[in-house]
């Protein structure tokens, strides 16, 4: 993935809005949007560092220098103590530190202190303490045709930042919600009834679906954002026999109402 794709993916994974990311980095939401669309390709190093801290990843991953993303769902060390999780590189450096004599350890300490002082002088904020909470992750939410809930455990534990608004998550399958939601993406959700235009997670006739929610107060119209997949639309009539259960709303910026 390119920088713009990683940025959007990580922001949505954390359940953050453009404005929230902008506030964390010190820019407006329009700038974050331009980063995600690629309209602004060159991002200053200090902004990269702040983005990485806000999205709980590392600058090297955002820049494409490593595949080590430090996503909250990955096995990480340090979370039990509330500290920022250590990357593999940091763990290796710690092992190297222990292998040095006292003079080598003092040298590394001097270098680390000097670099932290440089970052403070450049206005780069301290990396926040990492805390997390566990929410349920449902295995399948179809974005292209009927989805079948897992036949085993109905969900798995999924770690997100403690301040995330997400109350549960679903794993998207299919392409009918492109370009906003991608197959395989984990969508953060809240247990709130959707309003017109929002992306909702619903159980319809036993199938777990993610669609844009539109209603005229009597009937419900579930629409695919990808109009090439309008065959996956659902119309639920008040006079019909469909069974519908609303799980909640996807934490996602507003999108235009789908037009026929």
Whether residue 144 is found in the same domain as residue 222 = yes
Asked whether the beta carbons of 67 and 61 are under 8 A apart, the reply is yes
Whether residue 229 is found in the same domain as residue 119 = no
Range of the domain at 108: 85-126
Last residue of a domain, one of 40, 71, 102: 71
Whether residue 137 is found in the same domain as residue 232 = yes
Is 257 a domain residue?
no
Is 22 a domain residue?
yes
Whether residue 52 is found in the same domain as residue 102 = no
Whether residue 243 is found in the same domain as residue 136 = yes
Identify the CATH number of the domain in which residue 27 sits: 1.10.260.40
Is 76 a domain residue?
no
Report residue 131 as tokens: 């805390």
Whether residue 116 is found in the same domain as residue 194 = no
- In this structure, are strands 168-173 and 132-142 parallel, antiparallel, or unpaired? parallel
pLDDT of residue 101: 78
Whether residue 96 is found in the same domain as residue 159 = no
**Most distant pair of Cα atoms in the chain: their distance:** 80
Is 256 a domain residue?
no
Whether residue 227 is found in the same domain as residue 154 = yes
Identify the CATH number of the domain in which residue 187 sits: 2.10.109.10
CA distance 1 to 12: 15
Q: Where are the alpha helices (DSSP H) in the chain?
A: 3-13, 18-25, 29-37, 45-54, 59-62, 88-99, 102-121
Is 48 a domain residue?
yes
pLDDT of residue 208: 85
Is 260 a domain residue?
no
Backbone angles phi, psi at 214, to 5 degrees: -135, 135
Whether residue 122 is found in the same domain as residue 138 = no
CA distance 60 to 6: 12
Please state the domain count of the chain. Answer: 3
pLDDT tens, the chain, 260 aa long? 788 888 888 888 777 888 888 888 888 888 888 988 888 877 887 788 888 888 878 777 777 765 545 544 433 344 433 445 555 667 777 778 778 877 888 888 888 888 888 888 877 666 555 567 888 887 655 554 444 444 344 677 788 877 788 998 888 888 999 989 888 888 899 999 999 999 999 888 888 889 999 999 899 999 999 999 999 999 999 998 998 888 899 998 888 888 76
Whether residue 151 is found in the same domain as residue 211 = yes
pLDDT of residue 56: 78
Is 77 a domain residue?
no
pLDDT of residue 88: 60
- Measured CA distances, 133 to 10, 72, 139 (Å): 17, 10, 19
Whether residue 65 is found in the same domain as residue 109 = no
CB neighbour class for 11 (10 Å; exposed up to 12, middle 13-18, buried from 19): buried
Is 44 a domain residue?
yes
pLDDT of residue 72: 42
pLDDT of residue 73: 40
Whether residue 53 is found in the same domain as residue 106 = no
């Amino acid at each position: 993935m390119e920088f713009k794709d990683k940025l959007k993916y990580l922001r949505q994974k954390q359940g953050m809005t453009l404005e929230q990311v902008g506030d964390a980095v010190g820019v407006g939401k329009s700038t974050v949007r331009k980063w995600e669309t690629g309209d602004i390709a060159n991002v200053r190093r200090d902004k990269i560092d702040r983005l990485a801290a806000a999205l709980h990843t590392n600058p090297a991953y955002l820049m494409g220098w490593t595949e080590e993303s430090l996503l909250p769902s990955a096995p990480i060390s340090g979370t039990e103590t509330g500290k920022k999780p250590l990357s593999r590189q940091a763990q290796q450096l710690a092992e190297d530190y222990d292998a040095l004599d006292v003079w080598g350890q003092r040298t590394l300490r001097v270098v680390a202190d000097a670099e932290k002082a440089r970052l403070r002088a450049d206005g780069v904020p301290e990396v926040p303490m990492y805390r997390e909470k566990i929410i349920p992750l449902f295995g399948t939410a179809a974005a292209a045709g009927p989805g079948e809930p897992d036949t085993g455990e109905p969900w798995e534990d999924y770690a997100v930042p403690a301040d995330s608004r997400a109350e549960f998550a679903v794993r998207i399958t299919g392409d009918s919600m492109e370009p906003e939601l991608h197959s395989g993406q984990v969508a953060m959700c809240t247990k709130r009834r959707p309003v017109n235009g929002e992306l909702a997670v619903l159980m319809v006739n036993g199938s777990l679906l993610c669609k844009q929610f539109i209603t005229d107060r009597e009937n419900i119209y579930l629409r695919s954002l990808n109009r090439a997949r309008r065959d996956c639309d659902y119309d639920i009539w008040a006079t019909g026999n469909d069974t519908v259960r609303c799980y909640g709303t996807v934490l996602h910026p507003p999108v235009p109402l789908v037009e026929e």
